[in-house]
A and B are shown apart, each in its own frame.
Chain A
């Protein structure tokens, strides 16, 4: 989230699209209710199902799964055509005025530079025109046909209300009413917020769905505002933290990158990350990359990382492919190329697509190690559970270790919520039996591995032998020790660069925050964006003062938010070019004539003049991006793409299937379904009574929602002869499931491109372990393909068939 849960009370309009907060994030959704009750805010819900969020909305419209880009581009087109634009914001705070290279264009559903063979674009033309002064060329009058604004206008021209109705199945009058409601928020003192979740991410073009709304929010001037922003409602309690900390194939903590083999040495790696400003006077804060990177290398390898050895750059692995993400790993596993696999609190057998493939892959491992507080399906994948897990145990040669871990109640440390708050929590219970903390388990695995390298030698042991491990008890590092490492400290005394007689931080002391980090090896810091979380003031994440000056919803003394305790990202954009708040009643920060101050930590240099330094300080432009240059693989603007399995052909290009640059493995391509065979669109969803695959272990939740079901419309039920509460078989190209049929008015057929489209809703909370009845998840059916940029699997739009079934078969 750019903003915080408690900030939602400040909004005028909530758009929930790609999520269902009332059921999936109930206590956060309360702030929508507050905004409605106290500000007269309105709620719009756009969803294939009439969800419980929709049931308290002011306006609901249906949409076909996987067609969100068309809807959003349609709204942008309508706003541009009807002058619903926050002009001062767009002209100054976005790249609308930047001129794009002559070669860039779009036709037949594709951008310039497509290579069908490689399934990739040559993105050379997707960039700005650079002037002789080295800066991007701009036309502040927005007259130049090559400026981003005019290219965007041309790009969205196709997305008329009729087009939206045809592709999305959203009736034109409903679409137009939503446009009117959204358009009102282009006024500088009207603010809309976007709340989305997996309904937008789990598509083969998920990242572009989100960009579509981010662009709309920029055009309306709603980013950086109280009650505005782009608010990703993250699904797990610390999924934000694990991502911040770089537990991804290609990441280093704080959104730094693991090098690729095209960056064989430190100089090549660092020089590709110069991030010089593209406009005069702009901050381009990523210019500090070397400070964060060197401090990270010092945190990892201490004295073994020196200027002479390029900070031990050779210790880092170099990637030969963009990512070894989970989909790629299971593909490799299936082909016998993975021997050993760890699952730490993760149940991939139910979380990833095409369960049959997952089982086949796990069966080819030599050793699977699962650490979890609960019995997971993954740890038991080799157990025969009849039709619910029909495997031949004797034929599966994989060895499995199931290791008991503590759960939240027995553990101490910080979790990062959606609003980037690092909240410390404390242990209150004794772990059951021999369950151990994850830190103890990881430490003991590492120490034993290190010992083997010490005793026996081996291949390239250096990065293991030299890893910093200066904990009081090496076998159980404490949460405090680890948090202090992430915050960072001075290894040598650091002096102020502007005044070398002033000491910034003495050797051995915690740094105050990341502004004190250095690129000469004099500081260490595990995760620069967390710096400030545990400094010489103590554990700032443990703060519990719930005062809220100005009733602004910021709560600056409750926990610690990254970066530097800032609660609303881009908050400089909440004020105009003179530094005055767009809406005086919703002041966030303002320019006093000398400095920025207000209710939040300013997201700008505190003495940066408002008419000189633009708000988007992380970007080289100083402005936000309506056009993303070559930063996304599938285009600098979002363009309509069908799901890989769709009842419709792409109207722009009938040869195009799914996202034209998504990675598709050969075996999986052969398993994509067509609508001739599988006529119905399926989508996965969650229930308010359950949390993923955990709560089925709880008697209370298992009683509330005991049994797997699928949800269909009355019309589809009638067409297929399915009775309310009757049993059905749902099958696709990759598997089949049996479920109870819930026949509702919440899902209605839609008309798209002249065809009737039926939607089958498939909730995901059942497996073969726990207290609930055995069942399946949608992943028995879903396609093994991910988003082109981040490889998030396409769980929200795929094809199935359905028929009545008297009983589940006996295996």
Chain B
């Protein structure tokens, strides 16, 4: 190759077509074009690229996810490949053994796909609808809060403290989830509120 192409712009150009003519337009010599003509179509050429960051450690490596279908266009999208983002200043396209296997996390057989309920003393989960689950949670919260909210302490100071229900927040949800969680949890008076940073 005799022109300077970044890897990503190369992929984008290559995605426009694999005919020797377009490769020629990119600056390939004839021999290279002939060679390229024998190569089968690149699997990722028709995919949608989405920028994301690795959800594991706090280096926050840039990644590019390739999907069949485009979520932003309202389509069903299936992630088929994830790799390091070569433009990212921190990881410059590299990924560690954890990040390199990210697709396996997305596709793990133990991903949860439906709400489930375990009754007292049961040995198995059973299916439950979202509506039933959310109603059950709201009812349990209301009943427990009404019964146990400490409105004032012994000195008559308003303390509005709810200590019999607790909430553990995560370590990999977005700021936006965290802020919404903060609002909802704090408005109830829950004080047993922590996140993974406690460990």
Contacts and interface: CB of A to CB of B under 8 A. Distances in A.
B165 A338 contact: yes
Interface stretch (A155-163, A587-595, A664-672, A691-699): A691-699
Interface string A234-248: 111111111111111
Nearest to A395: B121
B102 to A, nearest CB: 8
Contacts of B182: 245-247, 253
A319 B168 contact: no
A408 B199 contact: no
Given A5-B90, A317-B162, A445-B138, A697 B110 contact: yes
Contact of B104 (A314, A375, A701): A701
Given A401-B117, A408-B52, A689-B98, A24 B57 contact: yes
A393 B121 contact: yes
Nearest to B165: A340
A242 B171 contact: yes
A476 B90 CA distance: 33
**Which residue of B90, B130, B176, B180 has the most chain A CB atoms within 10 A of its CB atom?**
B176
A586 interface: no
B112 interface: yes
Interface stretch (B19-27, B30-38, B188-196): B188-196
A426 B60 contact: no
Contacts of A790: 198
A429 B65 contact: yes
A329 B136 CA distance: 22
Interface in A242-281: 242-249, 253, 258, 261, 264
Contacts of B160: 314-318, 460, 463
A393 B122 contact: yes
9 contacts: A242-B169, A332-B192, A341-B168, A413-B174, A421-B60, A430-B69, A452-B139, A460-B160, A694-B105
A492 interface: no
Contact of B171 (A236, A393, A433): A236
Contacts of B120: 396-399
B64 to A, nearest CB: 9
A27 B111 contact: no
Contacts of A769: 110
Nearest to B114: A434
B168 A242 contact: no
Given A317-B191, A793-B199, A409 B79 contact: yes
B18 interface: no
Contacts of A25: 57-59
Nearest to A263: B157
Interface in A299-344: 300, 314-320, 324-326, 328-329, 332-333, 337-344
Contacts of A247: 169, 178, 181-182, 185, 193-195
Contacts of B117: 399-402
A432 B133 CA distance: 18
A452 to B, nearest CB: 5
Interface of B: 48-62, 65-67, 69, 71-72, 76-79, 82, 87-92, 94-102, 104-106, 108-123, 125, 128, 130, 133-142, 144-146, 148-149, 151, 153, 155, 157-199
- 6 closest Cβ pairs, A-B complex: A413-B174, A345-B170, A433-B113, A428-B50, A404-B112, A236-B171
Contacts, number: 489
Contacts of B155: 261
Contacts of B163: 324, 332, 337-338
Nearest to A530: B175
A362 to B, nearest CB: 11
A344 B98 contact: no
A3 interface: no
Residue of B94, B110, B133 contacting most chain A CB atoms (<10 Å): B110
Nearest to B106: A409
B52 A425 contact: yes
Nearest to A202: B199
Interface residues of A, number: 165
Interface string A571-606: 000000000000000000000000000000000000
A403 B133 contact: yes
Interface stretch (A126-134, A171-179, A478-486, A730-738): A478-486
A432 B113 contact: yes
A318 B161 contact: yes
Contact of B112 (A28, A373, A444, A446): A373
B168 A429 contact: no
Contacts of A198: 199
A373 B82 CA distance: 18
A258 B191 contact: yes
A451 B198 CA distance: 33
B56 A417 contact: no
A546 interface: yes
A415 B164 contact: no
B113 A435 contact: yes
B145 A458 contact: yes
Given A27-B95, A401-B128, A452-B142, A438 B173 contact: yes
A430 B76 contact: yes
A678 interface: no
Nearest to B85: A544
A187 interface: no
B65 A317 contact: no
Nearest to A686: B57
Contacts of B195: 239, 242-243, 247-248, 346
A546 B145 CA distance: 50
A485 B105 CA distance: 31
Nearest to B112: A404
A784 B181 CA distance: 28
B174 A414 contact: yes
A477 interface: yes
A449 interface: yes
